[in-house]
Structure 1
Amino acid sequence: MTDDLRLDLLGPLRGWSGHRRLDLGPTRQQTLLAVLAFRSNQVISAHELVELVWSDAPPSTGVKIVPPYIYRLRKLLPEGVLVHTRDGYSLRLAPGALDLDRFEGLISAAHGCRDKDEAAAKLSEALELFTGEPLSGLAGHYLSVQRHRLTERRLKVLAERIQLDLERGRYGDLVPELVALVEEDRLREQFAGQLMLAYWRSGRISEALETYTRTRHELIEQLGVEPGPELRAIHERILQNDEPLARPAVRDELPYDGAAFVGRDDVLKQVVDALRTAGPAVVAIDGMAGVGKTALAVRAARQLADVYPDGRLFIDLHGYTPGHEPVSALQALDRLLRTLSVPADRIPADLEERAALWRSELAGRQILVVLDNAPDSAAVRPLLAGGPRCGVLVTSRRQLTGLDATARLALDVLRPEDARELLAEIVGADRAGSADAAAEVVNQCGYLPLAIRVAGARLRHRPSWTIEHLSKRLDAEDRRLAELSTDSGGVSPAFALSYEHLPPDQQRLFRLLGAMTGQDIEMYAAAALADVDVVEAEDMLEQLVDANLLLQLRPGRFQFHDLLRQYARTLAPEPDAVRRLLDYYLYATAEASAAIFSSRLQPLPGPAPVRLPEFDSAAEGLEWIDAEGANVLATVRSAESSPEHVWRTGLAVASCFFQRGRVYEMDEALQLALRAAAGDAEAESRVLLSIGSLGRYRLGAEASLRTLQEARDRLPADADLALRARLLASIGYSLAKLSPDDEALAVLREALEVARRAGDQSIASRVLAYLGATYGDRREFAQALAAYQDSLELGDPAVQSEVLNGIGECLLELDRVDEAVAALTTARDLGVERGADYSLIYTYAFLGTAYARQRLWSEAIDVGRRSLELALESDSKQSQQNAYLRLAETLLAKGDLAQARPHFARALELALEEGQEATVERAADGLDRTGPAA
């Protein structure tokens, strides 16, 4: 016998070996294990097992089917647990290995307790062992009988615990639980009687009598019988008010908060703890519509009966209730005072006097007041309790910033795992489907409890649906809100009420935000959408956050919840607003690009028609791209109706993505731009130029050259000279990468001449940098150095880092190592300052070689590895082969042959793919010098 195995039967069959959860296999195998568990430590013959396990479908093979299943179970279970004797099979379990044994043990202990509190606690602990329907999903007559027996046993124990709670005076706490139990089985008289007693002893006589009437009707309608003598006796006692055990009624007005309440343990604890503190406690809970504020407040209030023994009052202020005007403070005080049995003739008409009487009535009492659905702080302030032992719990869709609360809680949507658990609670474990399907549904619901409840109710009431079918229906964004709404409520009506309570200017901005193309928005984009001042836009965004209709990710950046975004898109759009948003992203991206590259890469059609952020440095431009790049790309994707915006914005953002090494986003932006430019020859040529130039380092010089030649073929004869110069320069450089021969030099010199004719020093500086690189590839380093220095003198910041890299490489080849280190150190500082990850790949690689020449091995290897890391992140094959080669040469010079060899091998592989003969020769020579592979 071993104490290592534990099995749970009071719910879905589950097993553990120590701390390891067991996969119990297919259903029939689980059925066999469950039967053995119920008859644990007994011997069961094979014939009996067939009868108990396969009663629903007896196998034609008879007892021969048993050994294979026993074999599988033995492999699964700890050694020595499942034994075979001459008479049959036995599952040997230690005491307490079954949750059923622990259940019965706790009940026995409870029956032995003299203290009612202790007995109730043990019964509660026993009931918590039930995790669902016993052995759910397992077939067979034997297990069906056991399932029914255990279910009835649970209900009997539950009734015992409820009786103890009644005897302990916990009437108000019992009402919600008993309401659910009676609703679940309207013919079970015992729970109906207990609910009548709980209502009666809470001072809710009418509801107690109504429960009797409803139960009697069900019994007559369903069974044709009158209620039993016990229920009739309770009814008679209530009619005669004959209750010797009744204590003075404690007001408990908390509504039923539903049976399904999952997750929220952390926030529930925060609320409860805050209301347990000494002194008058005021806790405010805010959150978007449908997030579960009321459920949380009521659940917390139920846990505070010991702190507020004189009562828990509840009033819905109807701040956002369809068909209801918000309850005024005057009206709320009238109701609250009447709740405390204050006669009507004592209640003043004046608000201040009525509030003073309210505070006076609470003095000396320990009462918790729940103010639900508050419209604003002003509606709440007169209702606050002044008594030192009273508490107030407020919920609202708005942030009640004007309320002097002792604790505030902004309630968020559910965690994914809690959202899945809520769905399973609503539809039942058998309908919840696979974990992946459930995860998809709750994701489509935005993890919003209200949406999950609506979706779960639809699935529960449609037996023919599967969770996969529900997910497919929710997948269509244009109908998702309709799927999550009903005639009586749901997501859209809840959102509509929040929207209708906004002032007109905020309503307009909320509608306009539906045009957001990206995941979030900042104040300049919002100002462009609404055509208002930036400060005014930010104020309205903050006000929407206060109304819990917008999320604030961090200062200055805002985002919709997914379902709120879809709701905003259903409201009337303004076409001009979309145009303003497109203008904003085009001109802002162009300004960011100009800051990054210190030059404009394309002319724009006139001055910016919207207010733009200011970029005073390359770092600020890159910071904006890091934050807004995804939104810009989303705009490019969605702006099919404005092709000029698409190709211009795509071009502007692509170069910025390149600078950040975001090559896949760069490729997408350029492909979208090319499609939008169709039919405009000069625009097509511009886009193809960028595709060829920016793609050279990843796709290779040959593919780049083909694209650039296509761009040249489409270039109109009267095209801008600066554009022609840039195109010639890029063609010449691609030719040089394939072969640094006289043809490449001739094209580059022509490009330099056209750039000078155009008067564009920026392009001339880049052409000289290309000439420097070409001379370097020809190993004519003196000429290369001169070209680079001429480029540097033109002072174009856009190419400064690249030019300094080239100068550093030339100086290394000319064995002027100290000068090379100085140039490369400047290049590194510039690259870091500008966030130019791509240029830093080469800076670090060349610095590695320079440090190696100085025999600074640690520094050389560090920067070499940093170069390789950046190259691998960039997906540029050309920069990768350079980084691999230079790091390998450093390791070889240090004498670390084993580390150098794989780097030479990878450099050779990449160079062969790219046709880079010079790199092939250097990598092959390095491999020879490292010796044969191990």
Structure 2
Amino acid sequence: MDDQRTIGQLLREFRISARLTQEALAERAAVSARTVRDIERGAVIGPRHSTARSLADALGLTGADRDHFLAVASAASWESSQAQDGYVDPPAAPMSEEWPADAAVFSADPAVPPFRILGPVEVGAPGRPISLPGTRQRKLLAALLLNAGTAIQHERLVDMLWEEPPRSARQQIHNAVASLRRSLAATPGSWNITTTEAGYLLQVPPDLVDVSLFRTMVAESEQLERLERVPAALESLERALKLWRGPALAGLTGEWLEEAAVQLNEQHIAAVERTMALRLRLGQASSVVSALTGLVARHPYRETQRALLIEALHRSGRQAEALTVYEDGRQLLADEFGIDPGPALRRVHLQVLRSSPVTDPDDAGAAAPDAGVTAHVTETRSGGAVLRNFLPHSTKEFTGRRTELDRLSDTALSSSSQALVISALDGMGGVGKTALAVRLAHELTEKYSDGQYFVDLHGFSPGRDPLTPDQALDHLLRQAGTAIEKVPPDLAGRSALWRGLLAGRRALVLLDNAVDVAQVRPLIPGATHSLVIVTSRRRLAALEDAVPLSLNVLPPDDAEQLFIQIAGEERTRAAAAGVAEVIELCGRLPLAIRIAAARFRDRPSWSIDDLVKQLRSQRSRAQFLSAGDRDVMAVLRLSYRHLTPAQKRMFCLLSLHPGEDFDAYAAAALADLPVARAEQVLEGLFDDNLLLQQAAGRYQFHDLVRDCSRLLLAAEIDDRERTAATGRLLDYYLLIANEWCRPVAKGPFRFHAEIQHTLSRPEAENPAEATQLLHTEYHNITAAAEYAREHGWHSHAWQIPCAMQPLLAGMNYGERAYVLFEGAVSAATAAGHADGRSMALTGMASVCREAGDNDQARALFEEAIAISRATGNGRHEVFQLAGLGITLLNDGDLPAAEKVFATGYRAARELHDRATAALLANNLGVVAKDLGNYADALRYFTESAEHGNGFSTEDIAILTALNIGIVHQLRDNPEAATRQYEECRRRSRAIKFDVGEAVALVGLATVNRSLGNFAAALEDGRDALAIARRTALREVECDALNALGDIFLSTGEASSAETLFAQSEQLAVRHNLPRNAARSREGIAHVRFAEGDLAAARRDWEEAVRLFPAGVADAENSRRHLTSDTVLQPRCQRCVVVARTAAPSFRSE
């Protein structure tokens, strides 16, 4: 026997079984205790889907219990929407016998489509569906029908059918598709599921699927209503509603299907509400009162239904009952959500209070959804004339905006008394435009004392078309006291009368929620003494003589104050950090802050941390920031409704962008548009305040607008188009990384990327401009690589990091570099690309080496070299030998480094790889210099320059020139060294080569110190230190600190010198730089020597000798002290002003 228990009875039984009070359950589910009580006692027959899920979660329901609870809740919600609507299913044809196997199973009645999901999922004639064995078949069919005509990827189907997919998910889908194919094969029409490259596809004409037919009929009804064919519109809507047989997708569970069902059932309720509205327009007020009363009882939080009931009661002459219904709703919203009624309720309430008939929904005179204000009307008399104030009330919770108010007020008050002032406020939905405009209007009431007029133009209102200019003028004229029979029938006449009425008056006109300039222009009075305030989500740049103000989100302090004002100071006082995170998660958008604060205020058991958890998830944030008719996502979607098709598509696709900002080139790649067209579309979105622009040509989303874009993407753009757009975007970032980095790339990283699409990109005139562009796009390129890694785009996941290796190297491999190359190694392995794996290992090894992890770097270089040898890729191998040699050099193993460099140098020359030969010759010169063989060093550096002439990149050429300068300095030729250093500094600055510039400055500091030019030396040393720290060049930073320490030591400031040497030593130890650590300890020994502590100085010199790598010539400085007849004798170049051996070593890669 079927379970006949109501949802209230089930909830009570499960609650008692869980040993929870109503209050405890409400707290766990994040709903009010009143909601739990109302459901259990039957006052709310059908809870919303989100509420039912929250209750199920709070009760800990799983398996069959959870499925049954949600199914009963869904059915109850459906029944409550159907009750007293006057719509019932047509009776099914009686079945006298089993259908024969060869009988036609599809209805010949086109009004009853064979594929049905508006109720239980069925295929076949009404009452005679074909058998669909198993829940999974029905889920699969539902997924295919909801995406009819579009292929669904296998991975997408897995997400649709399982919340936690089993390992056998792929096979189970294959089995389910085969089974469903067999079921459909028995039907006439040969409906079949085809397998394409994009996934599974079910081709069904839209008129054979009930949900498609329903939407077509609803759209037809809306068109008929716009043509003022109201009876026909009602008939079309009634036919659409008869397609429903119960809650959509009834009996099917699972997160994706349940969300789809919620959306479909919401469309059904909206259609029911439109039906009631149409009946009211046809004068059937009395006949719908009963149905609307039942609807409001079952959906107490739906303000649209309550507004319709109030209107029906008012039209039926039952004003007292209408006011009671309004007050009940106002109290309910205040108790449950801490909010005021929305504009629909305020409008009809105002009409009831004024005892004037509500003739059309366009008779709105209320604030927009983001206003948070309640309208009021006052009349006073001055000199026999009636002066009217139609301004809405200004909310008591208005916070901040003092700067904007002062600016707008100053504009109005400083203008000539003979000037018409027009202030145009624009901003995204929910940012508080109306609230600011209303507050401003109230503050200026005394200056504009001849009347204050207000009209909501409904440019962006839910379920409403914008008012036409003649409709808006009708409202304004009637507010001005014009009898209805005296209102001219045409726009020109109304506009002329409006201008005449305000002539000579100091009036204030607030035109709220405008859709565009064309709607506003006829409403501007001709009076030169008046103030017009216009608000719109669009920038009204074409509005003549207007003073524009684009309203941004609240500053942090104002946003925090708004939250505290609503949530209460007592609970927020000790949670400043949590409040700060909450307002940032709300994007500092006033509407979002109000909803979050009200929810927090009404849940006294919650901490700020609980609120933060609700807001951190993008999916839960969208649901959480909804209360009654106040819904942040719904408010933002209203802007989307007014976009062009190209703008809608771009708005959705932009949510695929993984970075923080983007330009027209990236948008063009996403949308597959020419760049000029993409820029035009982006500017349109910017003008509609759906995009921000922090810098010229750079656009970004507000966080909540991005959430809205992602939700619309899932609903509006199919899997195939999303996949194609993602591929183009990843190709774009691979393209720019490869094209801009390749001119300065070395070895294996100088490759041509595999790019599938032909895309436009910004042109770089020179390497310096390319570097600037790379730094601008750095975060987007890395975000693209990380997205590719996380979502299985293997080719992009290894190519992008390898293409941007020169950029990463120039930034000294920041903290994200290791993760990028680690992902590249995995991706290249998954793609079966040996050279790609070898390149990625090389990048990963370089990161480890620069971080001081020489052991790991050596192992990774050796693995990369083994792959290159196995594949016969000699050019990769010689570059990797250079990297391995530098690692050995850093580790202090000079003989091993020299051997590896020599092996690579021979191989590079045999391969005629002149660029890598230049690199290796330079590094052999560094080894020779460190060993004190200056003639050999100079020979290698000269060979490096010869090999590299016309083949090396400019940075390698600069490093070789720097090393020549160092040899000049060590050979006691400061003039030649200075010339080299100054030339290298100039060349480095020209290409923005930070390493070269910092090294040149260190060299100049040491030379100037040796010549006694201490002021110049100090300036050069400090500049070098600043660059090294900004770019995380740790070895150069140590060298700069040592050079500065030597300068202070030479000027007698031993304490400052010791501090600098100690800093250098700590840094060198942390990053495994033994030569720098030894130089720092040697410097400290000289400080002790200068202070007269000879025993401590000797210990420090001994430690320095121990730290220097074996064979390094620099160690002789300390040895001279230790072998001297008397320690007091100056035995090394650090003891005197001349310090020629203070120069660092510069290897190249």
TM-score by length of 1: 0.71
Check conservation: 1:294, 1:372, Cα contact below 8 A: yes
Residue 506 of structure 1: SS of its match in structure 2?
helix
CA distance in 2, matches of 1:858, 1:774: 32
CA distance in 2, matches of 1:804, 1:695: 27
CA distance in 1, matches of 2:1067, 2:556: 44
Q: 1:504, CA displacement in angstroms?
A: 0.3
Q: Please say if 1:268 is aligned against 2:416.
A: no
Q: Please say if 1:773 is aligned against 2:921.
A: no
Amino acid at match of 1:884: L
Residue 511 of structure 2: SS of its match in structure 1?
strand
CA distance in 2, matches of 1:354, 1:378: 16
Q: Deviations over 1:770-822 (max 9, x none)?
A: 12212111121222122222222323213122112211111111222111111
Residue 521 of structure 1: SS of its match in structure 2?
coil
Residue 308 of structure 1: SS of its match in structure 2?
coil
Check conservation: 1:284, 1:400, Cα contact below 8 A: yes
Amino acid at match of 2:1087: T
Identity fraction in percent = 33
Give the structure 2 partner of residue 499 of structure 1. 640
Give the structure 2 partner of residue 764 of structure 1. 917
Q: Please say if 1:356 is aligned against 2:496.
A: yes
Q: Deviations over 1:128-173 (max 9, x none)?
A: xxxxxxxxxxxxxxxxxxxxxxxxxxxxxxxxxxxxxxxxxxxxxx
Check conservation: 1:369, 1:392, Cα contact below 8 A: yes
* Residue 474 (structure 1) aligned to one of 612, 615, 625: 615
After superposition, the Cα gap between the structure-2 partners of 1:334 and 1:760, relative to the gap in structure 1 and judged at 3 Å, is same
Q: Deviations over 1:104-147 (max 9, x none)?
A: xxxxxxxxxxxxxxxxxxxxxxxxxxxxxxxxxxxxxxxxxxxx
Give the structure 2 partner of residue 429 of structure 1. 569
Give the structure 1 partner of residue 730 of structure 2. 582
Check conservation: 2:955, 2:993, Cα contact below 8 A: no
Give the structure 2 partner of residue 140 of structure 1. none
After superposition, the Cα gap between the structure-2 partners of 1:912 and 1:486, relative to the gap in structure 1 and judged at 3 Å, is closer
* Residue 778 (structure 2) aligned to one of 629, 638, 641: 629
CA distance in 2, matches of 1:431, 1:917: 55
* Residue 251 (structure 1) aligned to one of 388, 391, 395: 388
Check conservation: 1:514, 1:568, Cα contact below 8 A: yes
Check conservation: 1:596, 1:619, Cα contact below 8 A: no
Give the structure 2 partner of residue 154 of structure 1. none
After superposition, the Cα gap between the structure-2 partners of 1:350 and 1:892, relative to the gap in structure 1 and judged at 3 Å, is same
Give the structure 1 partner of residue 691 of structure 2. 550
Give the structure 1 partner of residue 315 of structure 2. none
Quick check: 645-654 or 491-500, which moved more?
Answer: 645-654
- Structure 2 matches for 1:736-885, cutoff 5 A? 736-739=889-892, 741-793=894-946, 794-795=948-949, 796=952, 797-885=954-1042
CA distance in 1, matches of 2:425, 2:1067: 60
Quick check: 426-435 or 450-459, which moved more?
Answer: 426-435
Residue 630 of structure 1: SS of its match in structure 2?
helix
* Residue 414 (structure 1) aligned to one of 543, 554, 570: 554
CA distance in 1, matches of 2:568, 2:635: 26
After superposition, the Cα gap between the structure-2 partners of 1:432 and 1:853, relative to the gap in structure 1 and judged at 3 Å, is closer
CA distance in 2, matches of 1:353, 1:894: 90
Give the structure 1 partner of residue 795 of structure 2. 644
Q: 1:561, CA displacement in angstroms?
A: 0.1
Aligned residues: 708
Quick check: 680-689 or 388-397, which moved more?
Answer: 680-689
CA distance in 2, matches of 1:245, 1:925: 93
Q: Deviations over 1:708-755 (max 9, x none)?
A: 223223445124221111011212232334346444333212212322
Check conservation: 2:747, 2:879, Cα contact below 8 A: no
After superposition, the Cα gap between the structure-2 partners of 1:405 and 1:460, relative to the gap in structure 1 and judged at 3 Å, is farther
Unaligned stretches of 5+ residues in structure 2: 1-325, 333-349, 357-377, 1094-1149
Q: 1:845, CA displacement in angstroms?
A: 1.0
Residue 635 of structure 1: SS of its match in structure 2?
helix
CA distance in 1, matches of 2:553, 2:799: 39
Check conservation: 1:697, 1:879, Cα contact below 8 A: no
Give the structure 1 partner of residue 353 of structure 2. 207
- Structure 2 matches for 1:361-372, cutoff 5 A? 361-372=501-512
Q: 1:340, CA displacement in angstroms?
A: 1.8
Residue 461 of structure 2: SS of its match in structure 1?
coil
CA distance in 2, matches of 1:373, 1:912: 64
Residue 371 of structure 1: SS of its match in structure 2?
strand
After superposition, the Cα gap between the structure-2 partners of 1:667 and 1:847, relative to the gap in structure 1 and judged at 3 Å, is farther
Check conservation: 1:551, 1:561, Cα contact below 8 A: yes
Give the structure 2 partner of residue 124 of structure 1. none
* Residue 820 (structure 2) aligned to one of 669, 690, 693: 669
CA distance in 1, matches of 2:747, 2:879: 13
Give the structure 1 partner of residue 1100 of structure 2. none
Amino acid at match of 2:677: E
After superposition, the Cα gap between the structure-2 partners of 1:816 and 1:268, relative to the gap in structure 1 and judged at 3 Å, is same
Q: 1:359, CA displacement in angstroms?
A: 1.2
Amino acid at match of 1:601: F
Give the structure 1 partner of residue 599 of structure 2. 458
After superposition, the Cα gap between the structure-2 partners of 1:851 and 1:287, relative to the gap in structure 1 and judged at 3 Å, is same
Residue 692 of structure 1: SS of its match in structure 2?
helix
CA distance in 2, matches of 1:205, 1:482: 33
CA distance in 2, matches of 1:830, 1:622: 15
Residue 588 of structure 1: SS of its match in structure 2?
helix
CA distance in 2, matches of 1:845, 1:709: 33
CA distance in 1, matches of 2:747, 2:540: 49
CA distance in 2, matches of 1:707, 1:688: 6
CA distance in 1, matches of 2:425, 2:1029: 48
Q: Deviations over 1:622-650 (max 9, x none)?
A: 21222111121222222221122112212
Check conservation: 1:636, 1:669, Cα contact below 8 A: yes
Quick check: 740-749 or 633-642, which moved more?
Answer: 740-749
Residue 931 of structure 1: SS of its match in structure 2?
helix
After superposition, the Cα gap between the structure-2 partners of 1:404 and 1:898, relative to the gap in structure 1 and judged at 3 Å, is same
Check conservation: 1:385, 1:391, Cα contact below 8 A: no
Q: Deviations over 1:20-74 (max 9, x none)?
A: xxxxxxxxxxxxxxxxxxxxxxxxxxxxxxxxxxxxxxxxxxxxxxxxxxxxxxx
Quick check: 754-763 or 616-625, which moved more?
Answer: 754-763
Check conservation: 1:284, 1:405, Cα contact below 8 A: no
Residue 570 of structure 2: SS of its match in structure 1?
coil
Q: Deviations over 1:448-474 (max 9, x none)?
A: 111112222323344444433222111
Check conservation: 2:813, 2:847, Cα contact below 8 A: no
Check conservation: 2:448, 2:506, Cα contact below 8 A: yes
Residue 250 of structure 1: SS of its match in structure 2?
strand
Amino acid at match of 1:883: A
After superposition, the Cα gap between the structure-2 partners of 1:895 and 1:334, relative to the gap in structure 1 and judged at 3 Å, is same
After superposition, the Cα gap between the structure-2 partners of 1:317 and 1:905, relative to the gap in structure 1 and judged at 3 Å, is closer
* Residue 889 (structure 1) aligned to one of 1019, 1042, 1046: 1046
Q: Please say if 1:341 is aligned against 2:481.
A: yes
Q: Deviations over 1:903-934 (max 9, x none)?
A: 34444555567776655665454434333568
Give the structure 2 partner of residue 683 of structure 1. 836
Q: Deviations over 1:258-309 (max 9, x none)?
A: 2210011111122222233221100000000000001111111011111111
- Structure 2 matches for 1:529-608, cutoff 5 A? 529-570=670-711, 571-572=713-714, 573=717, 574-597=722-745, 601-606=749-754
CA distance in 2, matches of 1:426, 1:420: 10
Residue 765 of structure 2: SS of its match in structure 1?
coil
Residue 979 of structure 2: SS of its match in structure 1?
helix
Amino acid at match of 1:783: D
Check conservation: 1:330, 1:351, Cα contact below 8 A: yes
* Residue 810 (structure 2) aligned to one of 659, 663, 672: 659
